[in-house]
Structure 1
Amino acid sequence: MTRRIAVLTAGVVLLVLFGILGTTLPVPYVAQVPGPTFNTLGDIDGEAIISIEGRDRDEIEGNLTLTTVGVSRGGLSLVQAVHGWFDDEVSIVPEESVYPPDRSEAETRRLNREAFLTSEQAAQTVALGRLGYPVKVVVQGFAEDSPSEGVLEEGDAIEAIDGRPTPDTEALDEVLTSIPGGSTVTVSYTRLGEPGTATVTTRSAEEGTGSLLGITILEQPAAPFDVDIQVEDVGGPSAGLMLTLGILDLVGDDDLTGGAVIAGTGTIDIDGNVGAIGGIPLKMVAATDIGAELFLVPEGNCAEAAAAPDPGFPLARVATLDDALEALADFEAGRTPETC
């Protein structure tokens, strides 16, 4: 065998070896891709994403769609990672940025789900507050073996204990502190706009003196109807804005879409501020796939969104809920919303 043939043979062997390694050797990266979209005015398998109990939903057309990002499961190979770096519809990111090394994948998913549930609560608070409903002390859940379970319900607004008004958590704490544990009290509440009373035998406070009702509470606007949000397998807080708009469209006085397909993303806090999120270019791709006509972009993501390939629809800049509502009104009236 000549030296030339030997060198060529060695080169071929190395190329084959590197090719095999490239397709099998895992790298510490994951692929993010456009995730599923959910029309907050619609349903999933026949179950409304936003259901209303205690009043009829508004008859509306159009979509207010929240967008998501999907994440690959398992390690990528070197070849897959390199391929993803050249694909506009894939984002290759370090695995630790999605799954922090100090917690398990299951723990990360749980925390992301909790963040989504928190965004649900914020969306309800902001939307009902926008509609002018008064803030009250509202039952959110029950402790284990709660004496109130079965007589109170989630969503009940606590109005008074033994006739003493409880307009806020401070007043409720003051009333309960003055009542010895084990006392039987009358709890006045409002449920779906209707007043009612319940008799509860309290528990003793674990620390100090006073009574416990065995409930978790939150100060939030109380409406004469209940709002329930059901979107499984979605994590993180980025659905907050679109859920807020969905509630407003379903129970408010204004048609927010005019029959158009509106998509968007963004967190929302109880003051109505819209926060930046991750994966905006991928969410824009998902919006393109459903035929979106307008995309609501958090102000903090505008630079990234504007740098992405042209999606074929306007990118409305929103920093607050008011901005989003103004953008929707402009779009419906044929005006160009403030863009990125």
Structure 2
Amino acid sequence: MNRRLVMPLALVLPVLVLVVVAFNVQAPYVALGPGPVFDTLGEIDGTPVVDVEGIEADETEGSLYMTTVGVTDNLTLAQAVTAWVSGRYGVAPREQVYPPDRSKEEVRAVDQAQFAQSERSAELAALHYLDLPVSLRIAEVGEDAPASGILETDDLIVAVGGDPVETAGQVQRAVGAVAPGESVRVTVLRGDREETFDVPVGERPGDPGRGFLGIATEERPDVPFTVTFNLADIGGPSAGLMFSLAVVDKLSPGAINGGLSVAGTGTIDSDGIVGPIGGIRHKITAAAEDGATVFLVPTDNCAEAVSAAPDDVQLVRVETLEGAVESLEAVAAGREAPSCS
């Protein structure tokens, strides 16, 4: 009898050990999947997601959904395998989301800082698109910077190299195009006086072939109203495009989405340039499940988006805020818009 039990036990015990390990040992992976979706034209807990105060905002229609990626941590081996097999979730090494040299609190702080920056950039991009006033000031001049002793903190930059500038990116590109060792003409408003200086150009740290003035610039809305974004516990920079579109929609006549349910994602800078993001597959899934029929995709994410989108979701390729608005107007009117396919 003992011999008859030896073989079954020899087979069962390793399986039991594997089961125990699979359900109790933490895997070095996280699961990535569809996250919450927020309508930037709607409300959350009775408060507008994008609130414009001090001016009567235009009425909006339809939806402009911002999308997120859900992250599930502390997976057991069994949970990691289940997530991978499901097809709905992706599995990634935990260190890609939570680097080993940072705590979760530090990662969260970085994500929230990126989110706050995306809010600022979204507002500025919208104001520039609508030709509303934004001041471009010098926030700091480096002590040993090429511009030290010439340009001053709180100078408002009007032009660089004879060309008008409105954004920090325009200043950086204009100066970067000047060879180090030469000078560039910078026009500023100092107090009530407009002054022009020939400022020597140094080498940009880390990129010696490009020009550098050693100044930090800051853009500030110069409008008689305030824009407030009211989403908490969201991180990262990818809400920028949809926030910016919501601001444009509320500050301009008509519905830029034609009353459709539109979703999208993408970073944005104050110049209105849309940048790529991560997790596009999961964001499209979340948007489709929320009823979106159009999804705005940053150009560099198009290849991955095409492989993930259901047939009833139209993928619209975007590179700039202006292009996104024009594409939405085209879709609403039944015209062709730039596509990922």
TM-score by length of 2: 0.75
**Structure 2 partner of 1:120:** 119
Contact kept? 1:84, 1:92, Cα under 8 Å? yes
Q: Would the aligned equivalents of 1:128 and 1:222 in 2 still touch at CA under 8 Å?
A: no
Measured at CA, do residues 78 and 309 of structure 1 come closer, stay the same or move farther in structure 2, by a change above 3 Å?
A: farther
SS in structure 1 opposite 2:60? coil
Structure 1, residues 261-285: CA drift from partner, whole Å, max 9, x if none? 1000000112211111111111011
- Report the CA distance shift for 1:309/1:124 in structure 2 as closer, same or farther (over 3 A): closer
Q: How does 1:19-58 map to 2 (within 5 A)?
A: 19-58=19-58
- Matches of 1:309 and 1:130 in 2, distance apart? 30
1:5 & 1:338 partners in 2: Cα distance?
69
1:197-233 superposed Cα distances (whole Å, 9 cap, x missing partner): xxxxxxxxxxxxxxxxxxx993234222111111101
- Cα distance, 1:78 vs structure 2: 0.9
DSSP 3-state at the match of 2:223: coil
Secondary structure at the aligned position of 2:81 is classed as helix
Distance 1:242 1:88 in 2: 27
In the TM superposition, what is the alpha-carbon distance from 1:310 to its structure 2 partner? Answer: 2.2
Give the partner amino acid of 1:268. Answer: I
1:264 corresponds in structure 2 to: 264
The 1:10–1:309 alpha-carbon spacing in structure 2 relative to 1, beyond 3 Å, is farther
Q: Which runs of 4+ in 1 moved over 3 A?
A: 1-5, 165-175
| Percent of aligned pairs with the same amino acid | 43
CA contact (8 A) 1:168 1:219 kept: no
Residue aligning to 1:305: 305
Structure 2 unaligned blocks of 5 or more: 140-153, 159-185, 192-215
State the secondary structure of the residue aligned to 1:317. Answer: strand
The alpha-carbon deviation at position 2 of structure 1 amounts to: 6.7
Residue 103 of structure 1 aligns with an amino acid whose one-letter code is R
Whole-angstrom CA distance in 2 between matches of 1:248 and 1:331: 17
- Code of the aligned partner of 1:313: V
Listed one character per residue, the Cα deviations across residues 10-43 of structure 1 (whole Å, up to 9, x for unaligned) are 1111111111111111111011121111111111
Q: Is the 8 Å Cα contact of residues 123 and 268 (structure 1) preserved in structure 2?
A: yes
Q: Find the aligned partners of 2:119 and 2:157 in 1 and give their Cα distance.
A: 22
Who is 1:238 aligned against? 238
Q: Deviations over 1:107-139 (max 9, x none)?
A: 10011000000000000111001111123258x
Residue type at the aligned position of 2:87: D
Unaligned regions of 5+ residues in structure 1, if any?
141-164, 176-215
Superposition map of 1:113-262 within 5 A = 113-136=112-135, 167-168=156-157, 218-262=218-262
Taking the aligned partners of 2:275 and 2:116, their CA distance within structure 1 comes to 16
Counterpart residue number, 1:78? 77
In 2, distance between residues paired with 1:97 and 1:125? 31
1:315 aligns with 2:315: yes
The alpha-carbon deviation at position 311 of structure 1 amounts to 5.4
AA partner of residue 102 (structure 2): R
Distance 1:109 1:132 in 2: 35
SS of alignment partner, residue 31 of structure 2: strand
